[in-house]
Structure formats: structure tokens, C-alpha cells
């Protein structure tokens, strides 16, 4: 364990600039993530007189727009460095936060949510994972494991802070303060850290991970049947996580939880996520992402069962613990997966396609589950179905991973 920690500390010391920039990108993506939007979900529904299903539909519309835009916007990473892309993405994210806090009409709210999803959930993570995927080869898993906890820092820090600022300034004031944080802290820090390209050390020069696939084009990727088989499992974590965080106000009311107690469970998820993300990074560098792929949905299946079956408040902490394990493996594993499947030459455009489909799943989730709630199908009941999805998808991932490994071996 001491050797493991020392190796990571040395790696961070040698690559702190780029790891720090990626960490902040994933952290600031929190402002466009569903868990953060859901913190003021009840306020937004009340302000604009929306039912759960109507708000879910509005959120779905905004996220669909984001998913359709992202493949085109994400291609900019194949033509310009990440810090230049961040230079326009971060001000756009700040504008989105400001619009949520000042929206006079539901149409403006919809546009603000569209910008939040596109530049927060979409482009912040797209820049981080694309740049790290290109900059690191021999230690790609470790690098991804150290960047991904930025999102967990957001999970741990932002919900309690938002709740406190909400109590002081109201929900509108909390969103305006978020805009200031993005523009005054996030923008100079991220663009400054990423403005210097990483040059591989002598030991890395010329290194090529033998598991990395030949370089595919975007056109070849969309015609690959293995992509769609992989998506059956890969879409489960963002879909299920979005549903829980979007409907957290509903779940709190249904179970009678204290909102601050629920928000206080986020640090449990964050710490667990960081620990298991580092473990996953070590396993990815040793065995490869494809070999781990069939197993990463198991914690999410158990977490879904916990939400469906456990009603006392300690069930929230159990769920957050299990979700932390799932997210730790998911974020690190998927960050390293696509170079193994499709290479790195067109990684920005390829990741943009995959992220757009991921965003699409997060758009559909709140709309479908909100409509089911309106029809009397409680969220805990729906979570049992999600657990079955995770189990079945694990078998599909095992088949797909085996086929891709054989394909890469044949090409080599």
C-alpha cells in the first residue's frame, strides 16, 4: 500500500500541471451535472409551476439539444488544444449558471439548462478525458484515476455549500454565485494549467500501449456493431445516476429524509469514488480496460437494489457508498476504454459521439421516470428494474470485450 501511494504521489509531482487541470475540469463539470441541478429542482418547479413530469420533460428537451450539439462542438478538440477550447467553454458555462438564476420565463430556463448540459456535463468532461487520453499512454489508467475525482470533489463540496448559500441568498442567489465561481476561479486556473502541452519523458517516448487499437475514423466507429453492444452497459451508470439525482427531492419527500442529511451523504460517495478510482486505475494499467469491463456494473446493480428495498435513512449512505464504488470504476475505466477500442488519432471526435449518446441517455432518464412517477410507478419500484438491466448488460459487455480483444489481436 505504501509503495502504491508513493508511486501515485511521485506521478502527481511529475505531472501535477496536467492532472490538476483535468481535475478542475471534471470538478467544474458539476455545475452542469444532474445532481447539482436537482438541488434546486423543487424551487424551479415551484417558480415555474411545473409538475415532476413537466420538469422532467423540460430537462429532457434541454439535454437532447445538448446531445445533438456535442458531436460537432467536441470535434474542436481534434483541431485545437484543450486550453483554447476551455477558453470559450468556461464563460459559456458561467453564462448558463447566471441565466438559471435570473430566468424570467420557462423558455429562458430551458435555454439555460441546455447550456448547462452542453458546456458543463458535456464539454468539461470531454476536454478533460480527451486531453488526458492523448497525453498519457503508459500510465493512462493512473492519470484517469487522478483526474476523475474532480467530479467527486464537486459531489462532496458543492451540495452542502449550495444548500447553505441557498438558505442565505435564496436559490437564485446561489446560481448567480455559481456563475461567479466558474468565471473568477475556474477560468483562469484551468486555462493557465492546460496552456502548456505535456511532453513525454524519455521513458515514455515512443511508447505505445500494446492494447491500444489501430486508429479508427468517426465514420468507421458509427458502423461498428461492437459500439452499440458496448453502449448497452456503458449507458447504465449515467442513466441511473441521473435519475436518482434528478428525483432526489421526490425521494426525500417520499421517504421523509432531512434534505441536509441527504446532502451530507454525498461526501461518502465522493471518498469511496476516489479510493476505488485509484484501484481501478492500477488495474487498468495492469490488465487493460477491456478485461475489467464485464464486472464494473455489479456495484451499481446492488446500489439500485438498495434504493428499491431499503427505506431507513442509513439506506441513503449505503447507496452512496455503493454508487461511489460504481462511479470510481466507471469514470476511470471508461476514460481509458476508448483508446483501447478505437485508438487516439481521432479521439476527440469519437469521444464526442459517445459522450453525446451518454448525454442523450441522461436526457431520456428524467423524462421517462418522471412520467412513470406521474402514472403511479414509484421510483423505488423502477430501481429494481434498473438492477436487472445492470445484470443483463454485464453479459453483453463480456461478449463485446472478448470480440474487441480478438479484433485488436488480429489487427496487430
Whether residue 272 is predicted with pLDDT greater than 70 in this model: the reply is yes
Lowest mean pLDDT among 56-70, 106-120, 333-347: 333-347
Q: Maximum distance among all alpha carbons in the chain? A: 62
d(CA 355, CA 97): 21
How many of the other CB atoms lie within 10 Å of CB of 229?
18
Asked if 253 and 380 touch (Cβ cutoff 8 Å), the reply is no
DSSP secondary structure of 223-281: T-HHHHHHHHHHTHHHHHHHHHHHTHHHHHHHHT--HHHHHHTHHHHHHHHHHHHHHHH
In a domain? residue 2: no
Task: Give every CB contact of residue 283 below 8 A, 6+ residues apart in sequence.
Answer: 141, 292
CATH number of the domain at 271, please: 1.20.1250.20
Task: Give every CB contact of residue 258 below 8 A, 6+ residues apart in sequence.
Answer: 252, 313
Q: What pLDDT shows up at residue 207?
A: 46
d(CA 320, CA 198): 35
In a domain? residue 3: no
- pLDDT tens track for 83-111: 888 999 999 999 999 999 998 999 999 99
Top-confidence range, 95-104, 161-170, 259-268, 285-294: 95-104
Q: What pLDDT shows up at residue 297?
A: 92
Closest listed residue to residue 352, CA positions, set 59, 22, 78: 78
In a domain? residue 132: yes
Phi/psi for 351 (5° steps) reads: -60, -35
In a domain? residue 201: no
Q: How confident is the model at residue 4 (pLDDT cuts 50, 70, 90)?
A: low
In a domain? residue 109: yes
Q: What pLDDT shows up at residue 179?
A: 94
In a domain? residue 310: yes
d(CA 145, CA 127): 16
Whether residue 268 is predicted with pLDDT greater than 80 in this model: the reply is yes
Closest listed residue to residue 332, CA positions, set 394, 266, 273, 248: 273
Q: What pLDDT shows up at residue 200?
A: 56
Q: What pLDDT shows up at residue 11?
A: 72
Asked if 263 and 159 touch (Cβ cutoff 8 Å), the reply is yes
Whether residue 28 is predicted with pLDDT greater than 60 in this model: the reply is yes
Stretch 16-22: mean pLDDT: 85
In a domain? residue 200: no
Whether residue 198 is predicted with pLDDT greater than 90 in this model: the reply is no
Owning domain of residue 111: 10-195+208-411
In a domain? residue 47: yes
Q: By percentage, how much of the chain surpasses pLDDT 90?
A: 23
Stretch 134-148: mean pLDDT: 74
Sign of the dihedral defined by the CA atoms of residues 225, 227, 230, 233, in that order: negative
| Higher local confidence (pLDDT), 252 or 212 | 252
Whether residue 205 is predicted with pLDDT greater than 50 in this model: the reply is no
d(CA 208, CA 273): 29
Whether residue 203 is predicted with pLDDT greater than 50 in this model: the reply is no
**Number of domains forming the structure of the chain:** 1
- pLDDT tens track for 349-373: 787 788 778 877 877 887 788 888 8
Q: How confident is the model at residue 181 (pLDDT cuts 50, 70, 90)?
A: very high
Amino acid at each position: 500500500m505504501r509503495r502504491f501511494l508513493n508511486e501515485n504521489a511521485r506521478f502527481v509531482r511529475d505531472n501535477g500541471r496536467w492532472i490538476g487541470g483535468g481535475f478542475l475540469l471534471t470538478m467544474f463539470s458539476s455545475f452542469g451535472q444532474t445532481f447539482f441541478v436537482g438541488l434546486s429542482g423543487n424551487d424551479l418547479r415551484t417558480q415555474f409551476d411545473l409538475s415532476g413530469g413537466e420538469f422532467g420533460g423540460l430537462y429532457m428537451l434541454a439535454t437532447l439539444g445538448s446531445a445533438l450539439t456535442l458531436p460537432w462542438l467536441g470535434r474542436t478538440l481534434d483541431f485545437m488544444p484543450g486550453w483554447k477550447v476551455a477558453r470559450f467553454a468556461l464563460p459559456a458555462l458561467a453564462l448558463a449558471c447566471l441565466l438559471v438564476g435570473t430566468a424570467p420565463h420557462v423558455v429562458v430556463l430551458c435555454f439555460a439548462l441546455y447550456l448547462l448540459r452542453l458546456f458543463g456535463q458535456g464539454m468539461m468532461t470531454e476536454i478533460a478525458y480527451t486531453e488526458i487520453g492523448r497525453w498519457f499512454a503508459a500510465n493512462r489508467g493512473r492519470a484517469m484515476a487522478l483526474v476523475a475525482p474532480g467530479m467527486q470533489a464537486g459531489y462532496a463540496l458543492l451540495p452542502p455549500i449550495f444548500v447553505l448559500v441557498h438558505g442565505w441568498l435564496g436559490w437564485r442567489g446561489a446560481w448567480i454565485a455559481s456563475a461567479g465561481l466558474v468565471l473568477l476561479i475556474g477560468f483562469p486556473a484551468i486555462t493557465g494549467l492546460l496552456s502548456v502541452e505535456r511532453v513525454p519523458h524519455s521513458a515514455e517516448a515512443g511508447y505505445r500501449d500494446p492494447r491500444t487499437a489501430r486508429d479508427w475514423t468517426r465514420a468507421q466507429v458509427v458502423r461498428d456493431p461492437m459500439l452499440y453492444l458496448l453502449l448497452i452497459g456503458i449507458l447504465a451508470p449515467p442513466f441511473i445516476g441521473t435519475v436518482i439525482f434528478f428525483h432526489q427531492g421526490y425521494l426525500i419527500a417520499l421517504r421523509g429524509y432531512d434534505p441536509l442529511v441527504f446532502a451530507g451523504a454525498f461526501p461518502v460517495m465522493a471518498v469511496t469514488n476516489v479510493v476505488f478510482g485509484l484501484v481501478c486505475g492500477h488495474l487498468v494499467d495492469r490488465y487493460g480496460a477491456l478485461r475489467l469491463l464485464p464486472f464494473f456494473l455489479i456495484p451499481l446493480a446492488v446500489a439500485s437494489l438498495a434504493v428499491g428495498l431499503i427505506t431507513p435513512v442509513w439506506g441513503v449512505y449505503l447507496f452512496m457508498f455503493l454508487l461511489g464504488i460504481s462511479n470510481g470504476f466507471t469514470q476511470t475505466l471508461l476514460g481509458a476504454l476508448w483508446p483501447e477500442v478505437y485508438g487516439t488519432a481521432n479521439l476527440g471526435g469519437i469521444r464526442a459521439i459517445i459522450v453525446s449518446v451518454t448525454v442523450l441517455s441522461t436526457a431520456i432518464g428524467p423524462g421517462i421516470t418522471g412520467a412513470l412517477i406521474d402514472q403511479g410507478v414509484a421510483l423505488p419500484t423502477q430501481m429494481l428494474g434498473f438492477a436487472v438491466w445492470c445484470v443483463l448488460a454485464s453479459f453483453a459487455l463480456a461478449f463485446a470485450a472478448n470480440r474487441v480483444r480478438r479484433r485488436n489481436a488480429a489487427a496487430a
